[in-house]
Amino acid sequence: MGPKFTVGKEDWALYRKGQTDQERHRQKVREAIKRNLMDIVAEESIIVSDGRKVLKVPIRYLEEFRFRFNEGRRRHVGQGEGGTKPGDLLGQEIRGRGGGRGAGDLPGVDYYEAEITVDELAELVCEDLGLPRLRPREPRLAGEAPDFRDVRKKGLSGNLDRRRTLLEAFKRSAREGRKACRGLVPGDLRYRTWDVTVRPEARAVVLAMMDTSGSMGTFEKYVARSFFFWMVRFLRARYQNVEVVFLAHHTEARETTEEEFFTRAESGGTRCSSVYRLALEIIGQRFPPRDYNIYAFHFSDGDNLVADNELCVQLVLKLLEVANMVGYAEVEGSHRSGSSLRNAYKRIRHPRFVSVVIRDKSEVYQALRAFFGVQVE
């Protein structure tokens, strides 16, 4: 009796199923977070964060489809009485159970909390944002970046070029007269290597201007700081050669540190022209327009001296002569319905001037998209 052989075939897809499920889970988490970015961005607990804070976002559980037989001996699919037409509503006997007033008798939906860091969330926030009208300026700064140009027989395991390695293994097997490759030898391995190349990058400066007068209440200051918090995160994640200058003002304006800008509270009256005048002085002294892309964004509640409004319009027009973009955001609390400053800015008809109104903290993300979301020339 001859020898017995058993022919087997392994399904390699089973070995990759864990990784596939993990990637699918991550994608579902990202989609759930992106659907709720407006509320997550306005979360008060992450403002003035050190970047190491871990957020917990509620995500709905994903259930696999499965058949349920004889569940409570109720009617199932395909067991209706017929006579239905397109557009008819089915299952009317259970409408209202678990909704509205009173205690419901239907099961709820399970949720769990997915953890995500502030940096990971910032990547989602700035995924489709960018500095508008960013143009190269002379002289341009140089940034270093890896450039994979060569393939060698020795290198780091993380730089293994799998395609070229398999190709070398097939060539070796062909030279040896074998019809199939039975494994890899050290001579088959190929590694990618890189050279550090210097690439020119445009320089830019962003002037963050915030009203810190007594008329700016808790809500107004929180909204302004929330916007600038994500703006700074976005700029540092996307660009290397972008400087941020922090300016705070009441009747007088001054340059502050980043920590003071996000934590220090002031009081007094409001004279918005002071911050525009200071911005123009800083540009003239430190950031010549021929070398820098210039952006200026101002947050205020609009409660400005009426006699100062005309001067503000003139200074904004001067800023537009040297800046790529000037943005004005007015935080409108529950006790306000517009301001004389905003009405004065309506006379500015300039393509590089953008004005928005924020009435709710969830609109912070919309302000980010208004200032950074549209790339127009």
Percent of the chain with pLDDT over 70: 66
pLDDT of amino acid 376? 44
pLDDT over 80 (residue 341): yes
Q: Stretch 314-341: mean pLDDT, rounded? A: 87
Confidence class for position 183, pLDDT limits 50, 70, 90: confident
pLDDT of amino acid 59? 60
268: left (phi over 0), alpha (psi -120 to 50) or beta: left
pLDDT tens, residue by residue, 21-51: 777 777 777 777 777 777 777 666 666 555 5
pLDDT over 70 (residue 337): no
Confidence class for position 147, pLDDT limits 50, 70, 90: low
Name beta bridge partners: 57.
114
- Top pLDDT among 300 and 144 is at 300
pLDDT of amino acid 215? 85
pLDDT over 60 (residue 73): no
pLDDT tens, residue by residue, 345-377: 999 989 999 999 999 888 888 888 889 875 544
- Top pLDDT among 65 and 96 is at 65
Q: Stretch 48-69: mean pLDDT, rounded? A: 57
pLDDT of amino acid 17? 65
pLDDT of amino acid 143? 52
pLDDT tens, residue by residue, 203-255: 889 999 999 998 888 888 889 988 998 888 888 878 878 899 999 999 899 99
Provide the whole-model pTM: 0.64
The 3-class secondary structure across the chain, one letter per residue, is CCCCCCCCCCCCHHHHHHHHHHHHHHHHHHHHHHHCHHHHHCCHHHCCCCCCCEEEEEEECCCCCCCCCCCCCCCCCCCCCCCCCCCCCCCHHHCCCCCCCCCCCCCCCCEEEEEEEHHHHHHHHCCCCCCCCCCCCCCCEEEEEEEEEEEECCCCHHHECHHHHHHHHHHHHHHCCCCCCCCCCHHHCCEEEEEEEEEEECCEEEEEEEECCCCCCHHHHHHHHHHHHHHHHHHHHHCCCEEEEEEEECCCEEEECHHHHHHCCCCCCCCCHHHHHHHHHHHHHHCCCCCCEEEEEEEECCCCCHHHHHHHHHHHHHHHHHCCEEEEEEECCCCCCCCHHHHHHCCCCCCCEEEEEECCHHHHHHHHHHHHCCCCC
Confidence class for position 161, pLDDT limits 50, 70, 90: confident
Confidence class for position 3, pLDDT limits 50, 70, 90: low
187/190 Cα distance (integer angstroms): 8
pLDDT over 60 (residue 92): no
- Top pLDDT among 232 and 107 is at 232
pLDDT tens, residue by residue, 197-216: 655 566 889 999 999 998 88
Q: Stretch 111-134: mean pLDDT, rounded? A: 70
pLDDT over 70 (residue 322): yes
pLDDT tens, residue by residue, 265-318: 777 888 999 999 999 999 999 999 988 999 999 999 988 989 999 999 999 999
Find which of 79-93, 101-115, 281-295, 335-349 is predicted with most confidence, using mean pLDDT: 281-295
pLDDT over 60 (residue 1): no
The full set of domains in the chain, from first to last, is 17-62+111-125 (no CATH), 142-200 (no CATH), 202-372 (3.40.50.410)
Confidence class for position 98, pLDDT limits 50, 70, 90: very low
296/205 Cα distance (integer angstroms): 8
pLDDT of amino acid 2? 57
pLDDT of amino acid 93? 46
pLDDT of amino acid 276? 96
pLDDT of amino acid 254? 94
